[in-house]
Structure 1
Amino acid sequence: MSSSSSSGHPSHPQVRRGSRGAYRLVRTPPARTDPPRLDAAQRAVVDHRSGPLLVLAGPGTGKTTTLVESVADRIARGGDPERILVLTFSRKAAVELRDRMALRIGAARAPRATTFHSFGYALVRAHQDSDLFVEPLRLLSGPEQDVTVRELLAGQVDLERLGLAHVRWPDELRACLTTRGFADEVRAVLARSRELGLGPDALAAFARRIGRPDWRAAAVFLAEYLDVLDLQGVLDYAELVHRAVLLARRPEVAAHLTAQYDAVYVDEYQDTDPAQVRLLHALADGGRTLVAFGDPDQSIYAFRGADVNGILDFPTAFPRADGRPAPVGVLRTARRSGSGLLAATRLLTQRMPLTRLPADKVRAHRELTPVRGGGRVEAYTYPTAGTELDNIADILRRAHLEDGVPWRDMAVLVRAGSRTIPTLRRALTSAGVPLDIDGDDLPLRHEPAVAPLLTALRAVAEAEADTGARTGERFGALGSEADADPRADADADADADADAYVDADADAYVDEGGDAATKLSRGEHAYRADEPCWLSTETALTLLTSPLAGMDAADLRRLGRALRDERRAAGNPLPPPSDELLAQALAEPERLAVHDPAYARGAQRLGALLRKARERLAGGGSAEEALWDLWDGTPWPTRLERSARRGGAAGRNADRDLDAVCALFATAARAEERTGGRGALNFLEEIDAEDIAADTLARRAVRPDAVRLMTAHRSKGLEWRLVVVAGVQEGLWPDLRRRGSLLEADRIGRDGLAEPLSPGALLAEERRLFYVAATRARERLVVTAVKAPADDGDQPSRFLTELGVEPADVTGRPRRPLAVAALVAELRATTVDPRVSEPLREAAARRLARLAALTDEDGRPLVPSAHPYRWWGMWDPTESKVPLRDRDQPVTLSGSALDQLANTCALQWFLGREVKADAPATTAQGFGNVVHVLADEVASGHTPADLAVLMERLDSVWNALAFDAPWKSAQEKANARVALERFLKWHVMDRAGRTPVASEHDFDVTLEAGEYEVRIRGQMDRVETDADGRAYVVDFKTGKQAPTSSEVARHPQLAVYQLAVREGAVDEAFDGVRPQPGGAELVHLRQGAPKRDGGETLPKVQAQESQEGPEGEWVGDLLATAAGKVLDERFTPTAGQHCTHCSFRASCSARPEGRHVVE
C-alpha cells in the first residue's frame, strides 16, 4: 500500500493521481519462480502424458515439486487449466499446492487444487435437491458429530423407558449406551459403512447374514442418524463422500465429469479411504490420465478410515486402457535429510513388511540417495517425566542460543496430543521456550483462555435454570401454602430472633471449628439470615481470580476483610467466612458500591456482567450473546490486544488466547445455527462432551517465531532443522490396543467378514507413524523417553533402539535453565555465597553489571532484573505513610499474642495477627473450640457434669469439623472423649478448696509498661477462688505439646492474666472487690498427669506462682518491649523451632526457602 498527493508524482504510471493524503491499493504482481532442476526420476514423471501412473515418493524426495512441475508442463504444452484437477488429503496441503502452482504458473492460470471433501461438497451442492434443502448443506465437524451420536444414543434410553424405541440394541450393550467409549464405537461403524458404500439396508442385510445383532441395531441407528442430519441440513464427512460417489455414478453426472477433466493428480494417495477411491474411479477410470503420488510407508490415518491397500492396489485398480497394470514410478533422491539421518530412518523401513507393489520399485523407494552428508540422531532416556521435560527445554534453548537455530525451525512431536501436549506446554513455557500450538490440537474446553468464560456462562445458565425451576415450584405450591397456619412462621421467626445472638469473642471462632462451637453455645444450628446465594463459593473465587475480574490474592483478602467488617458493623458478631461473603457480593454487585474501588472494582464489574448475562439468557438470548456480554465488558480483550501487539513471549500467549476465544464464539454461533437455540446449558454440554479437537477451516498464513508443538499425525508434510520426538514409551508408542474392539467396525468388509487387524498390523502402523515423525528433521533428530529405575515403571519404546543409536541415560536435570532470568539468579546467588572465592564473587558481580547496562534502542534496560534497584534486599525497610497504631492511644494487645510478638517472631505476629494472612484454621483448632465450649457449659451450670451428656452434645456438632478422612475423625473423637473425662474428674475433685467463680470471662484493662500504655484484651477460660479469697486463672490447653517447667515460670500469657487480675480484670466476678492474684495454671486436657499427680485419668497441670512483687517485674518489661516494636514498626524475623509450623516460611528472609525474596 502506498500514498501520493496532488503535488507529487504517482509512483506507478497507470495509477491516477489522488488527493492529498489519499491511499490506494497497488496490485503487486506475484513473483514468478524459475523452474527447478529436476532429476531423471522427476523428469520421467513430468513427461508422463496419459494414462494412470503411481509415483512412490518418500519423505523429502520432492513430491510436491514434481506434482507442480507436472501440472505446469501439461499447461505449457497447451493443456487447459480448467480441465486439470488436483486432489489432496488435507486443507493444509491443498492451500500449499494452490500457492505453489500460483507462483509457478500464475494465479490466473493455476488449476483447481482441493481436498476430496471439498470436491465432494461442491458436487453435492451442484446437484442439491432444492425442495429438500432450503438452506445450503453444512458440514458437521468431528466434535459436532461426536456430540450428535452421543445425544441420539442417550435418547435411546428414554425411548426404551417409554416403549417407543425402534433401535433394539442387544441386552449386553444397553448399559453402555450413554458412555463415551460406546459412542466412539458406533461412530466407527457408521463411518466404516459409508466408506464401503453400505446404506442402512445393506448393513442390516450384512449383519443378518453374518449373525451380528449389534450391527443390525447399528444399521437401524444409522437410518435414524441420517434422518436427523437431513432434518438439520448437515452432513458428516463420510456421508458427504458417499453421496458424492452416488452422484458421480449417475450416467448424466458421470458423463459430465468425464468431459470436464482431462487429467487428475492426487497427492498423499496413501491416505485415501475406500469411498474416495470409488470417487476417483468415477473421475478417471478406464485408463484416463490419473497421476497419484504417495508413500505406503507413511500411511498413518487408519483411525480416520484411510486404507493403505488403496495405494498397494493402485496398479491393478486403475489399469491402463489396454488392461495392463498401471506403471509405478519412484522418486529416488532425498533432499531433506542428510546421510546420517537417512541411514537411521532407513533402518525403520527395513522392519516394515513388504508390499504388493513390484519389489524392485519398493527397494528403490526405501533406499534413497541423499544429496548431502551430515545430520545426526540422538536418543536419551531419563528417570522421570519431569527430568525429561527439563532436558527437552534445555535442548531447544541451547540449539537456539548456541547453534543459532531459529525457534520456528524446531518442533516437538508427541504420540498422544490431549494426554501429552498440556504438560509439555506448561513445562516449556515456564522454561522460556516460545511455543506455537495449533488451536485444534486440543479440545476447546482445555484452552486456558476459554475456561473462565465457560465457567461464567455455566454459573449464570445454571442459576437461571434454578430460578425457573423454583418459580414453577412456587406456583405449584400456592394452593397448599394458602391453607398453612400463619402462626407457625411467626413462632419460627421468634425462635430465630431469640437465638440469633452469640456471646463469644469473634476472633476466637474464625476457624473451621467456629461453626461447631457456635452451635453448641446456642444449643442448636447456627442461624443464617442470608438467602442462599446462586453463585457457589468455589465458582466465585475462580471467576474473581480469572482475567474476567483480574483480582489477586491480596485484593481478595482486602475485600473479604472489608465485607466481614461491614457485617460486624451491622450487628453480626460472627459473620460468615470471607469466601461466602465474596460469593454473595459477586452475586449482588450493588453491595460493593460503598467499598474502595482500588480492590473492589474488578469484583463489582464482573458482578454486573454476570447479572447482564443472566438477564440476557432469561430474555431468550443465546449462549453466544451471553458470552459476548461477559467478554466485551471487561478490560481483558484490550489487555490481550496490547500484549499481542508488543510481541515476545507474552504476545505469543495473547495471540493464542485470542485465537481460542474466537474459536469459542465460532463454535457457539455454529451451535446456534445448527440447533436453533436450545439454550446455554445444552451448548455447555456439547463443549464438555467434545473429546476430540476440531479441524479448523482457516489456518494461519504467518506463524510466529516459536517452536511448533504438535502430534506426529499433524506433522505430516512439514519439516524443521531440529525435531524432538518426545515421550516414546512402550505401551504408548507403539499403542497396540485394538481400536473398536466392542463393535469391531474394522471387521465390516465389502465382500464379507473382514479379518481383524492383527497385532502385527497395528505394530506396522505405529512404526509408520514413528517413521513419519523421525523423517520431519533436516539436520538433527532427538528422541526422548522415560526409563524408570523400577521394573514396573515407564520404559522406553522398542522404536528407540531401531534408529541404530544407543540411547544415552541422563539421570539429572540441567544445572539451570538456559535463560536470562536463570543466569541472573545464578550470578546473584554467587555474589552472596560465602562458600565461593572472592574473585569468583567479583566476577559474578561484573557480569551482572554488564547485563544491567544492556539497553535497547530506546534506552530501556534489556535485563532489568540484573540491576540492584530491582532487588528487594537492597531496599530500605518500607515505612507506611499511615502509622500502624496511634501513638496517642494505648497499644492494644492480647495475652495469647504477647509472647509471639516479644519473644518468638515479630514478623510472624505482624503477618498473622495484623495482616490476617495466616493459614486457614485447622481441625485441631476446631477440636479445641468445641472442648472449651463444653467446659464452659459445665462450669457455668448449663450442662451437668456428666460424660454421657457431654458426648451427646459433642455428637451433635462433630460432623461440622472437616477432617481429611473418616479414620481421623474417629481418632480425634476418641481423643475428645478422653479429654472430657479428664476435665470432669479434674472439675469435681477437691483442689485445696478452690471453687470456680467465672467461666470464659472477658476482660479489658489498660496497664502502664514503662513509657507506654498497653491495653490488654482477652478471655480467661476459668477464674477460681480459694478460701482466702485469692483469684486463680485457669487456661485450658488442647494441644499436643506442653512447655517446660522453666517456661511456665515465665509464661507471658499466664503472667499477663495475673497482672490483669491485679488491675481489676475480675473485680466483677468477686462482687466488686479486687482480689489478690493467687497464681495461674495451664490445664492440658489432652495430656495425662504424672503418676504422682493422679496418672493418666487426670489432666496435666502446670502452675505459675503469683507474680506479686519483684518477681513480676519482667512482665512489665515484656509489655514495654512488645509495645515498642508495634509503635516503631520493627517486625524483624527470628528463626527458631516455631518456624516449623509457620505459614510464612516461603517469603521469610530468615529462612533458606524464603531468602530468594531479598537476595
Structure 2
Amino acid sequence: MTYTLVPGTRRTVRPLALDPSQRAVVEHRGGPLLVLAGPGTGKTSTLVEAVVDRIDNRGLSPAEVLVLTFSRKAAEELRDRIAGRLNRTVATPLSSTFHSFCYSLVRRFQPADVFTHPLQLLSAPEQDVRIRELLAGGPDTGKVGWPSSLEQALRTRGFAEQLRTALARARELSLDPVDLQRIADSGALPEWSAVAEFFEEYLDVLDAQNHIDYAELVHRAVRLTEDPDVRRQLREEFRAIFVDEYQDTDPAQVRLLQALGGDGRDLVVVGDPDQSIYGFRGADVRGILRFPREFRTRSGDPAPVLPLRTTRRFGPRLLTASRRVAAGLGVSGGIEPAAFEAFRTPRSEGCPYGAGRVDALTFTSSGAELAHLADLLRRAHLEDGIPWTEMAVLVRSGLRSIPPLRRALVGAGVPVEVATDEVPLRQEPAVQPLLLGLRVAAHPDSLDPEVAQGLLMSPLGGMDATAVRRLARRLRDEDREANRGERLPRPSGELLAASLRDPVALELLGDWARPAARLARLLSAAREQVGAGEPPEQVLWTLWSGTPWMRRLRSAVDRGGAAARAAHRDLDAVCALFETAARAEERSEHRGVAVFLAEIEGQRIPADTLADRGVRTGAVRLLTAHRSKGLEWRLVVVAGVQEGAWPDLRHRGSLLQADRLSPEGLVPPLPTAQLLAEERRLFYVAVTRARERLVVTAVQSPDAEGEQPSRLVSDLGVTVTSVSGPPRRPLSLGGVVGALRRTAGDPAASPALRRAAAARLARLAAEHIGEEPVVPYADPATWWGILPPTAAEVPVRPVDEPLALSGSAVSSLMDCPLRWFLAREAGGETVSSTAQGFGKVIHVLADQVTTGRVEADADALSEHLQAVWDQLQFSAPWVAERERETAKEALRRLVAWHNARPERTPRAAEHGFAVEIPVVRADGSTDTARVRGSMDRVETDEHGRLVVVDFKTGSTKVTGEALAEHPQLGVYQLSVQHGAVDELVDGDPVAGGAELVQLRQPAGTGSAMPKVQRQPPPEPDEHEETVAGRQLRTALETVRSETFTARINPYCRFCDFQRVCPAQPGGATVLSPGAGTSSTEEGSDGRPV
C-alpha cells in the first residue's frame, strides 16, 4: 500500500488592527526601545507585528531575529503566531526561552572536550535533592567546614532551600566561590566561608555527573559572551532582538542582553514594572526602570520609552479597581515621568463584557469561604452561562491553599484543573500508592500494619474499608485456630502485613480476597525485579499494569464528566512519574530503585515536567497568582486574601541572608516597604486577570484574634460585603436530589407535589451512561432507612464463648449502648492523655500506700509525684502547673483518708480478677458473662465483710440516687459473690458494700478528707435478682442482640461522638425522628450524612 502526503490548506493570518501606540512600536526605526505594556494592552500582538515588520518590510531573515521570553508555553505561542503571520515555515526557531537559548550557546561554544556527553539540565526539585545529598555528609566528612552554629540546621529542609537560593543568587551576580570567600573574609557574614567551600564542591560534583542547574547555565552562557570573538559572532548573527516580560529578568540575563545588544542595535524589550513578581528568583523591578540608562542609543542618549495606551481586557469598573491597586506601587524610577504617567493611565476600549464587576466578600470561617466559593462558581456557570474554562481561582500559596480548595470544589461538583507543577510530584494522589508499592519492593521491612492497610485500600489493592476489616477478621480467626489458645491472636495490622508477603495463603481464602492476593503477587514480583537490578521505570510498570486501575481510569476518560477530569489528572501524574523515573535512570547510570526512591521522596518543591500536557477542557483553573501571569478569564476569584498570608512580609533567606548578597559584599536587608510593594504587585497581577468579573474573598473571624482580611482588599476601593451562614441550596445534581428527597418525604407537602418529586427522582435514577448510573444516589435502594437492617457476617463478639465484660463496660452499656460500641468495638475512643496520665500516677501511688511500699505521708508522695510529673504531656505550661497542685491536693486527701480508717484492714491493691457469672436471659435461655477487671483497693470492715474501693480522679460527680445503682460498683460486688476475692480471705467472702473515693473533691468545705460515696451490699428482689445482676443481663443481651441505640444521659455533653449520634441535633440522620425537615438530613451532594 502506498501513502501520499498531501499538504493541508494553509490559513493566512491577517494583520491585526493596531492602535496608534502599538503602531508606534512597530514603526520604531531601530536602536534600543522600552515598551511599557499593562494588562490587556496587546503587548504580544505588538511584539508579533514588530517581528513580522522586520522580516517582511526591512529585509531581515528569520535567522537574524531573536525573540526571548521566560516560559516554554509563551515561546511556543510567539513562535506559532509569528509563523502564522509570515504565512510560511522557517528553518530556525523564531523564539525561545532564556534557558533554551543559553543551553544552545553553551553547547555551541563550549570547548568540545568539556562535555563528552550532552549536558543534563537539573530541575529545581532535582537540584534540591542534590544539595541535600551533599549536606547529608554533615560536618564530619571534612569536605566543608560548616560552623558549629549551623551543624543542627544542615539536614533540615529549610536550610537546603536557603542554600539553593544562595547559590542561585551568587550565579545571578556572576560570583564564583572565591568571590564568596572574599565576602566571608571581610567579616560581613563568616558563615559564607562554608557556603563558598560547599559551592565549589557542588560545582565539582555536578561537572563530574555532567549535570547543570538553571542559574549555572545562564552564568556559563554569560561568560562565553565575554569572549570578544563569541560576542562579535553573535552580534553579527542577530540584527534584531526582542524580549518579552523584561521585568522578570535577573542581573545575569541583563548582562547577557548587554553582550548581545548593548551596542545600540535594534533591541526592543516589552514589560510592565507593576507585574515584577519574581523577586524570589532574582528578578529586580529596578532592572526595567533602569533600562533607558543602561541600554543607550548609538548617540549615547537614553533609550526611548513608548507606553501602550489601550486595554481591551476589561471594562471601566475593573480598570478603576486595578488602577487603585497600582496607585500604591511606587514611583517611576529612571523612566521619564510623562511616559510613566501615560502607562499608568490606559483607556478601556472594545471590551466585550461591558463595564465589568468587582466584588469583595468576607466569611466567618474558611469552611464557609470554600462552600460559598463553590456555590459562586456553579451559579456563574449555570445562571450566567460562563464556561468552566473561563473561570479561575487564584491563591497566594499553592502548597498551603490548593489541596483544601481542590477537595472542596470537587466535592461540590465543580470540575477543577490543577497544573501538575503546583504541588510536588510525590504528593499527587495517583503517585503516592505507586511510590508506596515501590518502597515496599525495595525495602520489605517497611511493610508495617499502616503501610499494608494503605496499600490494600489504594487503587493498587482496590479494597474498601469494609473488605479490609473482613480480611482482618478472617486472618485473626485463622490465627486463633492455629495457636489453639496457646497465645493471644496477633493484632490485625500485623496479620494484614504478613498476608501481603504470602500470596498463596490469600488465594486460599476465596474470590472475595482476590484483590488482596493480586496485590501480594504484585509486590512479590516487584521485589524480585528490584533484587534482579531492574530499573525503577520497569518496576513501576509492573505495579501499574498489574491491576485494573489503569483500565478503570481509561473507562472514566471515555465516560466524560467529572470522573474523566479526575482520571486525566491521575494519568498525567502517573505519566510524569514514569518520565521522572526514565530521566533518573538516564542521568544516574543504573543507580537503582532505592536511589530513585530517595530522590523522588526527597523532593520538597514542585516543578513542571519536561512535557507540557496543556490544560484540560471543561474545568476551572486552580493555580497560584504567580502562575496566572499572562493568562486571563471571564471570572476570576482571588481567594484567601488574609492579613499575615498576603502580604507575606517575612524576610527570605533569614539564616544565610542570600537576599543581601551583592558583588561588593552584603547590603542592608530589604526594607518592609519593598517586600510590601512586591506583594502588592502580586495582588495587582491577580486582580488584572479578570475580563468580566473579579471576586476577592477572605475570612473575617468574629474573634478579634482570629483571621482578618488583608489590607490589600481595601486597595480595590469597593464596598466589602460580609456573608454569614451557609449558601442556599447548592446548584448541583446532588443538591437537586437532596431537595427532591426532602419534598418526597415531607408529610406537610401536598400529595401532588410529593408525586412530582418522586417522579423526578425516578427519572434521574434511570439515567445511565453505558451500564453506569449517572445519579446513583437518586435510587431509593441506596438510601438509608429504606432497606431492612443488615446482619454482620461475623458477630461483634463470638457467640460460642462467654461474653467478656468489665465493670466500666457494663456502666457504659447502661449509659449509652451506641457510645460503648463506637468507643470499645469501633476503636473510636479518644482518652485525653492529660487525664489518663494524671489518673495513672495517682492510682500507682495509692497502690503503693495500700501495700505499704510508700509511707502514707503527703510530703513523701509529693516527692514521688515530682519525679515523674515532667513526663506527662499537657497542652500548656500553666495547665501542667495547675494539675500538679490538684494532684498534690488529691494525695493529701488520700493520706488523710488512709490514716483515718483504723476499723478497716487493707487486703489488696490493684487486685486483678476474672470470674464467670451465669446469666438467665429474658427468654429463659442461659448465657455466661466473663467479668474481668481490677479493683483499686479491697478491705475488710469491722464485721469481716469485704468492701471494694474505687478511687476516682476525675471531676464528674455521681448523685446519691444514681449511686445505689452504680453499675461498676455493683459489678464489683457481684464479682465478689462469685469468687473474685476468694484468695484474700478464709472461708466464703461476704460483700460489705463498695465505695467511690473522689480524690479531687473534698468531703465538705474546708475538709481535708475526700468525698466518699458508699453503695450498700446487694439486696436480692422477690425474683432473687440484684440490681447489678439485672444490669449485667441487660448489658449481655444488648451486645448479643447487636442493637446499639443512642441514649440521652448526663454524660452526653462530654461525649466524643455527638456529631454522629442520632440522638443529638448535629448527628441526626434520615432515620432520626423529625429528620425529614432538618437541614442536617443530607449533605450538599444529596447523600445522607
What's the TM-score bracket when you normalise by the shorter of the two chains? 0.7 to 0.9
Which of 738, 753, 763 is the matching residue for 1:853? Answer: 763
Corresponding residue number in structure 2 for 1:493: none
Q: Say if 1:828 and 1:223 are closer, same or farther in 2 by CA, change over 3 A.
A: same
Query: Residue 697 of structure 2: SS of its match in structure 1?
Result: strand
Query: Residue 355 of structure 2: SS of its match in structure 1?
Result: coil
Corresponding residue number in structure 2 for 1:290: 267
Residues 609-758 of structure 1 mapped to structure 2, 5 A cutoff: 609-610=522-523, 612-614=525-527, 616-620=529-533, 624=537, 627-676=540-589, 683-687=596-600, 689-740=602-653, 743-749=656-662, 757-758=670-671
Conserved? CA contact 2:78–2:95, under 8 Å: yes
The amino acid that maps onto 2:632 is: E
The amino acid that maps onto 1:850 is: R
Conserved? CA contact 1:561–1:578, under 8 Å: no
Which of 715, 739, 745 is the matching residue for 1:802? Answer: 715
- Is residue 203 of structure 2 the alignment partner of residue 226 of structure 1? yes
The amino acid that maps onto 1:136 is: P
Q: What do residues 672-731 of structure 1 show as CA deviations (whole Å, max 9, x unaligned)?
A: 444445565655554455443223322223423222121211111100111112233334
Residues 479-878 of structure 1 mapped to structure 2, 5 A cutoff: 535-569=447-481, 570-572=483-485, 575=488, 578-582=491-495, 584-586=497-499, 588-589=501-502, 593=506, 596-597=509-510, 600-610=513-523, 612-614=525-527, 616-620=529-533, 624=537, 627-676=540-589, 683-687=596-600, 689-740=602-653, 743-749=656-662, 757-789=670-702, 791-815=704-728, 817-825=730-738, 828=741, 838-839=748-749, 846-847=756-757, 849-854=759-764, 856=767, 862-878=774-790
1:334 positional shift: 0.6
Which of 15, 29, 32 is the matching residue for 1:52? Answer: 32
Conserved? CA contact 1:140–1:235, under 8 Å: yes
Seq. identity, %: 47
1:159 positional shift: 3.4
Q: Say if 1:1140 and 1:547 are closer, same or farther in 2 by CA, change over 3 A.
A: farther
Q: Say if 1:820 and 1:136 are closer, same or farther in 2 by CA, change over 3 A.
A: same
- Is residue 76 of structure 2 the alignment partner of residue 95 of structure 1? yes
- Is residue 13 of structure 2 the alignment partner of residue 33 of structure 1? yes
1:961 positional shift: 16
Q: Which runs of 5+ in 1 are unaligned?
A: 1-15, 19-23, 465-533
Corresponding residue number in structure 2 for 1:349: 326
TM-score by length of 2: 0.81
1:573 positional shift: 6.0
Separation (CA, whole Å) in 2 of partners of 1:738 and 1:909? 52
Residues 388-403 of structure 1 mapped to structure 2, 5 A cutoff: 388-403=369-384
The amino acid that maps onto 2:129 is: V
Q: Say if 1:1106 and 1:125 are closer, same or farther in 2 by CA, change over 3 A.
A: same
Query: Residue 631 of structure 2: SS of its match in structure 1?
Result: coil
Corresponding residue number in structure 1 for 2:243: 266
Which of 356, 359, 365 is the matching residue for 2:343? Answer: 365
Q: What do residues 288-339 of structure 1 show as CA deviations (whole Å, max 9, x unaligned)?
A: 3332222222222222122334333333444444444433333221111111
Q: What do residues 1015-1049 of structure 1 show as CA deviations (whole Å, max 9, x unaligned)?
A: 4554698999999xx99997775667797777787
Conserved? CA contact 1:830–1:841, under 8 Å: no
Separation (CA, whole Å) in 2 of partners of 1:276 and 1:304? 12
Separation (CA, whole Å) in 2 of partners of 1:927 and 1:357? 70
Query: Bigger CA drift: 33-42 or 1008-1017?
Result: 1008-1017
Conserved? CA contact 2:314–2:690, under 8 Å: yes
Q: What do residues 808-837 of structure 1 show as CA deviations (whole Å, max 9, x unaligned)?
A: 333444345443324544564577679xxx
Corresponding residue number in structure 1 for 2:913: 1000
1:88 positional shift: 0.9
Q: What do residues 770-824 of structure 1 show as CA deviations (whole Å, max 9, x unaligned)?
A: 2211111101112223334455544433322222223233344434544332454
Q: Say if 1:986 and 1:1110 are closer, same or farther in 2 by CA, change over 3 A.
A: farther
Which of 80, 89, 99 is the matching residue for 1:117? Answer: 99
Conserved? CA contact 1:1009–1:1117, under 8 Å: no
Conserved? CA contact 2:998–2:1011, under 8 Å: no
Q: Say if 1:17 and 1:972 are closer, same or farther in 2 by CA, change over 3 A.
A: farther
Query: Residue 778 of structure 1: SS of its match in structure 2?
Result: strand
Corresponding residue number in structure 2 for 1:136: 118
Query: Residue 872 of structure 1: SS of its match in structure 2?
Result: coil
Query: Residue 650 of structure 1: SS of its match in structure 2?
Result: helix
Corresponding residue number in structure 1 for 2:1084: none
1:594 positional shift: 7.6
Residues 947-962 of structure 1 mapped to structure 2, 5 A cutoff: 948=854
Q: Say if 1:1143 and 1:171 are closer, same or farther in 2 by CA, change over 3 A.
A: closer
Separation (CA, whole Å) in 1 of partners of 2:644 and 2:972? 68
Corresponding residue number in structure 2 for 1:335: 312
Separation (CA, whole Å) in 1 of partners of 2:98 and 2:940? 100
Which of 1039, 1046, 1067 is the matching residue for 1:1154? Answer: 1067
1:263 positional shift: 2.5
Query: Residue 357 of structure 1: SS of its match in structure 2?
Result: coil
Corresponding residue number in structure 2 for 1:278: 255
Conserved? CA contact 2:388–2:415, under 8 Å: yes
Residues 992-1071 of structure 1 mapped to structure 2, 5 A cutoff: 1000=913, 1002-1003=915-916, 1005=918, 1007=920, 1011-1018=924-931
1:463 positional shift: 5.7
The amino acid that maps onto 1:434 is: P
Query: Residue 622 of structure 2: SS of its match in structure 1?
Result: strand
- Is residue 49 of structure 2 the alignment partner of residue 69 of structure 1? yes
Separation (CA, whole Å) in 2 of partners of 1:794 and 1:108? 56
1:94 positional shift: 0.7
Conserved? CA contact 1:42–1:66, under 8 Å: yes
Query: Bigger CA drift: 1018-1027 or 544-553?
Result: 1018-1027
Q: Say if 1:327 and 1:842 are closer, same or farther in 2 by CA, change over 3 A.
A: same
Separation (CA, whole Å) in 2 of partners of 1:921 and 1:205? 59
Conserved? CA contact 1:1002–1:1020, under 8 Å: no
Conserved? CA contact 2:743–2:749, under 8 Å: no
Separation (CA, whole Å) in 1 of partners of 2:149 and 2:912? 68
Corresponding residue number in structure 1 for 2:1076: none
Q: Say if 1:922 and 1:976 are closer, same or farther in 2 by CA, change over 3 A.
A: farther
Separation (CA, whole Å) in 1 of partners of 2:921 and 2:724? 65
Query: Bigger CA drift: 1006-1015 or 965-974?
Result: 965-974
TM-score by length of 1: 0.76
Which of 396, 414, 418 is the matching residue for 1:433? Answer: 414
The amino acid that maps onto 1:395 is: L
1:590 positional shift: 5.7
Q: Say if 1:1010 and 1:137 are closer, same or farther in 2 by CA, change over 3 A.
A: closer
Query: Bigger CA drift: 56-65 or 700-709?
Result: 700-709
1:876 positional shift: 3.2
Note the aligned Cα RMSD (angstroms). 5.2
1:890 positional shift: 11
Separation (CA, whole Å) in 1 of partners of 2:396 and 2:832? 44
Corresponding residue number in structure 2 for 1:42: 22
Conserved? CA contact 1:1005–1:1060, under 8 Å: no
Conserved? CA contact 2:768–2:774, under 8 Å: no
1:114 positional shift: 0.7
Query: Residue 628 of structure 2: SS of its match in structure 1?
Result: coil
Corresponding residue number in structure 2 for 1:491: none
1:45 positional shift: 2.8
Which of 266, 282, 304 is the matching residue for 2:281? Answer: 304
Conserved? CA contact 1:169–1:217, under 8 Å: yes
Q: What do residues 464-483 of structure 1 show as CA deviations (whole Å, max 9, x unaligned)?
A: 6xxxxxxxxxxxxxxxxxxx
Conserved? CA contact 1:1009–1:1119, under 8 Å: no
1:366 positional shift: 1.8
Conserved? CA contact 2:153–2:159, under 8 Å: yes
